[in-house]
Amino acid sequence: MSHTTEASRTGSAVSISEIDFDRLETVERAVEIRCATGDWWTANWRGTPVSAVVDRVTVPPETTHLVFETADGYRACLDVHTALDGVLAGAIDGKPLDAAERPRLVCPGIEGIRSVKGVSAVVPVSLSRKDDPEELEALGIGEGDDAE
C-alpha cells in the first residue's frame, strides 16, 4: 500500500486499471532518460499525457505533487508541473513496451530512477515547502512499507 500519509493526500488515488486509455489523447514525445550510471538516451515515447489522465479525475487545487506507484511498492513523487509534462507511455520508438512496463511514466528533466515502469496508481498530495518529497518515495525493489 501507499506510504503516502493521509495528512498529505489531497484526493483519492487514481487507479490506472480504471482508466480507458483508448478514449484519451495519444501523443509521441522525444524524452531523454538519464540513468544513475551516467548512461543516457533519447527515445520517442508514445502514450497518454499525464495531464489528460488528471483532467478525467478530481484533483483538488491544493495538490502540489503527484506520487506514481507500482503494484510492488515502487514510488516516485514529482511536483505537479513536472508530472503534468509527462507521458504514461505504452510504446518506445514505435514498439510496444512489455506488459509489465506499461504504462511507463516518462517526463523531461527527471532522473531515470523516477521514470516509473508499470504505474498502477497516481496519488495527489499536498506538501509544504518544509516537506521533502523524497520521503514519499520508494525507488528500489523491496522498499515497500513492509520492507526494512
pLDDT tens digits, one per residue of 37-83: 888 889 999 999 999 998 888 788 899 999 999 999 999 999 999 99
Instruction: Determine contact, residues 128/9, Cβ cutoff 8 Å.
Output: no
Would you tell me how many other CB atoms lie within 10 Å of the CB of residue 98?
A: 10
Q: What is the pTM of this model?
A: 0.85
Instruction: Determine contact, residues 13/121, Cβ cutoff 8 Å.
Output: yes
Q: How confident is the model at residue 145 (pLDDT cuts 50, 70, 90)?
A: very low
pLDDT score at 1: 36
d(CA 53, CA 87) in angstroms, rounded, equals: 10
d(CA 118, CA 70) in angstroms, rounded, equals: 6
Averaged confidence pLDDT in the chain: 86
d(CA 13, CA 147) in angstroms, rounded, equals: 22
